[in-house]
C-alpha cells in the first residue's frame, strides 16, 4: 500500500459515508450520484435485490421515505482493497436502527457488507452493494408508556424535548 | 486530495476521537486542549448553545460529570474537508447511549455533527461543534427487574459481573 | 506524522477490523493470524486474562462459538501511535451487543481498548489487547412476546423475515 493508494481508499470511504448520510437524511437526489448507472444491490442476504441505480433508489426511497421512519445506518471496519487503478472492493460492518412511528416498531441489527467500486471520469462510485445479516430483531413500541421519542430530524427540527 | 492532506485529515480525526474519549471518561482537564479559546457549540439542534471553551466545558462537566451517569458517544462517517492550510470542516454521524442510574433512565439517539476546525501553532483544535438529532428516545429503567447494569467504569473498575 | 506512517496506521486498522470480523463471524482459524504467538489479552478490566495466542483463541471460541450466540463487536475512534518502526499502540472505543438464544439474554456494552501491536516479517499483529468497560447491561429476553429475532447469520442465511 502506498500513500497515493491510501488517498484512493479515503475517497472510497467518503463515498460510502455520503451514501449512508443520504440514506438517513432521505437525500434521494444527492444519493443518485454515488451509484454507477448499472449498479446492483443485494440487501438482507439477497432477499432484496435490484439491478440498476433507478431500481435501487426506487426501493430505498419508497421503503424509507416517510418522515415517520427514522433510521441510523452506521458502517464500520472498512477493509478496502484496490483491485486495479479503477476498481476496488470493500468489506464493512453495519449497525442499524429503525424507529418507525407509523408501525410502532423498532428494528435493530448488524450485518456485513460486500461492496464493489468503480472509478469513472475520476470519481469513485458504488457498482455493487449488499449485506448479509449477523442478526436482526424487531420490537413493538406499542403499550410502552415508559418509552418516548424525544427528538426527530423531521418532527422537532433535530432538537430534544429533554431538559438537562 | 494529496497524501500530505490525508495526514492533516487523520490528525483532525484523532482530535475528534480525543474529544469523545475525554467526554465518556470525564477527563475535563484533558478535554480543554481540544477547543480553541473562542470555540462555539450548538448541541441538540441548537437547543444547547455555548460561546467559549469555558462555557462549553462547564456545560459538559456539570451535565455529565456524575459517576452515576454512564455514556458512550460514538462518531462515524467522517467527511472532512480542508478549506485552507489552517481551517477545515467535518460532517460526522453520532450514535450515543446514556445510562443514568440516578434518574433511572436510558437515552439512545443518533445525530449528525457539523464541525469546524482551526490549526493554531501547529495543532488542530475544534472551533465550532454542533449536532442535529435524527432521533432520540428515552426509556425508564424503573420497574425492570429483568434489566441489570453489570459493569461500570466508576463502580466496578470496568469489570463485568457476568461469569462466562 | 508522514504519509508513509499513515500507511502503517491504516494497516494496523485493517488488522483490528479483521480481528473483529473473525470474532463476529466465528472464523477462528483465520483469526489465529492476527495475534503474535505470545500475545496477551485482558478483557473486561482484566477479569478475563490470557497468555498466548492459543489460550486467547480457546477462550474466544469456547465462549462465543455456539451458533445460538450472536454478537456485534464494533470498534471506533482509533488513536494509533507508532512507537518504533515495528511497534505501535492503539486506543479504541468498543460498542458490543450479544444476543444469546440459548440463555435468552441480551448484553449491551461500551468499553475502551488499549492495544499493542508488533510488525513481524512485514506483517502487523496484535501482541496485547484488553479493554475496560464504560458500562455493560444485561437484559432477559424471556417473557417478551413483543421481541423477535428476525434474521440470523447462522439460522436464516443472513436474510430477514421482515417483509418491507
Contact C1/B10, CB-based, under 8 Å? yes
Task: Please compute the mean of the pLDDT values over residues A143-163 and round it to a whole number.
Answer: 95
* Domain count for chain C: 1
The verdict on residue C50 lying in a domain is: yes
Nearest to B147 among C111, C135, C139 (CB): C139
Q: How many C-beta atoms surround the C-beta of residue C127 within 10 A?
A: 19
Cell 456539570, residue located: B62
Chain B residues lying within 8 Å of C47, measured CB to CB: 159-160
What are the per-10-residue average pLDDT scores of chain C (164 residues)? 98 98 98 98 96 98 97 98 98 98 97 98 97 98 95 97 90
Tell me if chain C has a CB within 8 Å of the CB of A2. yes
What is the pLDDT, as a whole number, of residue A164? 83
Q: Which of B3, B47, B78 minimises the CB distance to A160?
A: B47
Q: In which residue are the cell numbers 501482541 written? A: C127
CB C42 within 8 A of CB C56: no
Query: What CATH number should be reported for the domain holding residue C90?
Result: 3.10.450.50
CB atoms B74 and C77 under 8 Å: yes
* Interface confidence: ipTM more than 0.90: yes
In a domain, B164, yes or no: no
Contact assignment for A158 to B134 by CB distance below 8 Å:
yes
Percent of chain B with pLDDT over 90: 98
Q: What pLDDT, on the 0 to 100 scale, is given for residue C164?
A: 82
Residue A35 is predicted with a pLDDT of 98
Can you give the pTM of this predicted structure?
0.97
Residue A160 maps to a domain: no
Kindly determine whether residue C24 and residue A93, on different chains, have CB atoms separated by under 8 Å: yes
Nearest partner of A70 among A43, A105, A45, judged by Cα: A105
CB contacts of C14 in chain A (<8 Å) are: 79
Query: Is there a contact between B162 and B150 (Cβ–Cβ < 8 Å)?
Result: yes
The mean pLDDT value of chain B amounts to 97
| CA atoms of C164 and C162, how far apart (whole Å) | 6
**Which residues span the domain enclosing B42?**
3-140
**Closest approach of chain C CAs to the CA of B31, in angstroms?**
15
Q: Please check the confidence at residue A119 and state whether its pLDDT lies above 90.
A: yes
* A157/B111 touch (CB, cutoff 8 Å), yes or no: no
pLDDT at C8: 98
Banded pLDDT at B55 (limits 50, 70, 90): very high
User: In this prediction, what percent of chain C has a pLDDT beyond 90?
Assistant: 98
Q: List all residues 6 or more positions away from B135 whose beta carbon is below 8 Å from its beta carbon.
A: A70, A72, A99, A149, A151, A152, A153, B109, B110
- Contact by Cβ (8 Å): B90, B127: no
How far B70 CA sits from the closest chain C CA (Å)?
7
Q: Helix (H) and strand (E) counts for chain C?
A: 3, 7
Q: Which of C114, C109, C125, C112 is nearest to C53 (CA)?
A: C125
Q: Judge whether C37 lies within some domain.
A: yes
Contact yes or no for A76 and C76 at CB 8 A: yes
CA proximity to A41, closest of A58, A27, A24: A58
The x, y and z cell numbers of residue A35, run together, are 451509484
pLDDT of residue C138: 98
Question: Touching C: which chains, 3+ CB pairs < 8 A?
Answer: A, B
Q: How far apart are CA B81 and CA B78, in angstroms?
A: 9
Name every chain C residue with its beta carbon within 8 A of the beta carbon of A46.
159
Chain mean pLDDT for chain A: 97
Q: Is residue A104 part of a domain?
A: yes
Evaluate whether residue C85 is within a structural domain: yes
The SS3 assignment for B145 reads coil
Chain B residue with minimum CA distance to A24 = B134
Q: What is the mean pLDDT of residues B21-37?
A: 98
Residue B133 has its nearest CB partner, among A76, A147, A160, at A160
pLDDT recorded at residue A58: 98
Nearest CA in chain C to B7: C3
Comparing CB atoms, the residue among A95, A107, A132 nearest residue C153 is A132
Q: How far is CA C161 from CA A43, A102, A133, C113, in A?
A: 13, 19, 11, 35
Task: Please work out, in degrees rounded to the nearest 5, the angle formed at the alpha carbon of residue A58 by the alpha carbons of A60 and A109.
Answer: 15
Say whether C45 and B156 touch across the interface (CB within 8 A): yes
Cβ atoms of B1 and A15 within 8 Å: the answer is no
Interface contact A141, partner B, CB < 8 A: no
Q: A-contacting residues of C 66-105, CB under 8 Å? A: 70-72, 74-76, 95, 97, 99
Contact between C147 and A137 using a beta-carbon 8 Å cutoff: yes
Asked if A128 and A115 touch (Cβ cutoff 8 Å), the reply is: yes
User: How far is B6 from B114, CA to CA, in rounded Å?
Assistant: 19
Give percent above pLDDT 70 in chain B: 100
User: Is the residue at B149 inside a domain?
Assistant: no
d(CA B127, CA B119): 10
* Max CA distance (Å), chain B: 56
Partner-chain contact C156 A133, CB within 8 Å: yes
**Residue recorded with cell 444476543:** C99
| Closest chain A residue by Cα to residue C67 | A134
**Chain B within 8 Å of A4 (Cβ-Cβ)?**
yes
Q: What is the pLDDT of residue B164?
A: 82
Q: Searching chain C, which residue's CA lies closest to the CA of residue B160?
A: C44
In angstroms, the CA A111 to CA A164 distance is: 35
Distance of alpha carbon A106 from alpha carbon A141, whole angstroms? 7
Per-residue pLDDT tens digits for A7-26: 999 999 999 999 999 999 99
Amino acid at each position: 500500500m502506498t500513500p497515493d493508494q491510501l488517498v484512493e481508499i479515503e475517497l472510497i470511504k467518503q463515498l460510502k459515508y455520503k451514501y449512508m448520510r443520504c440514506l438517513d437524511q432521505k437525500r434521494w437526489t444527492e444519493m443518485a450520484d454515488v451509484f454507477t448507472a448499472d449498479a446492483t444491490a443485494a440487501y438482507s442476504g439477497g432477499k432484496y435485490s435490484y439491478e440498476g441505480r433507478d431500481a435501487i433508489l426506487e426501493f430505498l426511497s419508497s421503503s424509507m421515505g416517510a418522515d415517520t421512519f427514522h433510521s441510523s445506518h452506521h458502517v464500520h471496519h472498512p477493509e478496502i482493497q484496490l483491485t486495479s487503478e479503477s476498481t476496488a472492493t470493500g468489506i464493512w460492518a453495519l449497525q442499524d436502527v429503525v424507529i418507525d412511528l407509523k408501525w410502532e416498531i423498532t428494528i435493530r441489527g448488524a450485518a456485513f457488507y460486500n461492496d464493489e467500486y468503480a472509478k469513472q471520469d475520476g470519481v469513485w462510485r458504488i457498482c455493487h452493494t449488499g449485506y448479509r445479516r449477523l442478526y436482526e430483531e424487531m420490537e413493538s413500541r406499542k403499550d410502552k408508556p415508559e418509552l418516548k421519542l424525544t427528538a426527530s430530524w423531521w418532527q422537532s427540527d433535530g432538537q430534544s424535548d429533554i431538559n438537562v
